Amino acid sequence: MGNQSSKGIKVTSQDKAILDLKLQRDKLKQYKKKIQVVLDSEVELAKDALKKGDKKRALLALRKKKYQEGMLIKTDEQLETLENLTSSIEFALVQKDVVYGLEQGNKVLKEINQEISLDRVERLRDETEEGIAYQEEVSAMLMSNISNADEEDVQAELEALEQQERAKLPQKQTTFPEVPKDKIEEPMDLPKVPEGIPEDKQPEKKEPLLA
């Protein structure tokens, strides 16, 4: 029969849903490992952009990183919710929701799979007309998908990276170099300044007029 295996064991819709969940969970674990390389590359891209004074490109890379992290977290949470539903005794009552959830899960996993590409990171570095058009497209997509809280996290991460880059810059010397003792000149004995007015410069005394 259609719902029976070769051994005559009936495979229920609940069994199939649990199997699909396990497959999605395994894929998500694989994607987590692979996408970490992409996330690290986006951080490096942001650092390079800051060195060049390109704050806009640095923000784009960090926003993309935040978006990808959010996709992983949301998918993980959704799978956990579906696992709880499939283990429920009242599976028949939530079966429609589970099926819909699995369909959405597959859709998101496909999107995550697309993000696991270092080529996309390199396209963020591209300064050609085509590259800039792609970056503007990604930026518009991210701004409509990132929450205010996520944007605050991105701004904080950017500020932290800026501080790291400033710390790497050579510090200006603020102390004067020490002069060798043998180069220090002894103070000169200057002549003393005479006190008062010299006699030859004294004003002449006038004799009093006779009455």
Global pTM exceeds 0.75: no
What is the DSSP code string of 140-179?
HHHHTTS-HHHHHHHHHHHHHHHHHHHHHSPPPP-SPPPP
pLDDT digits (tens, 9 = 90+) for 107-147: 888 888 888 888 888 888 888 888 888 889 888 888 888 88
10 and 3 Cβ atoms separated by less than 8 Å:
yes
| Torsions phi, psi for 117 (to 5 deg) | -150, 120
pLDDT of residue 201 exceeding 60, the answer is: no
pLDDT digits (tens, 9 = 90+) for 30-84: 888 888 888 999 999 999 999 989 999 999 999 999 999 988 888 888 888 888 8
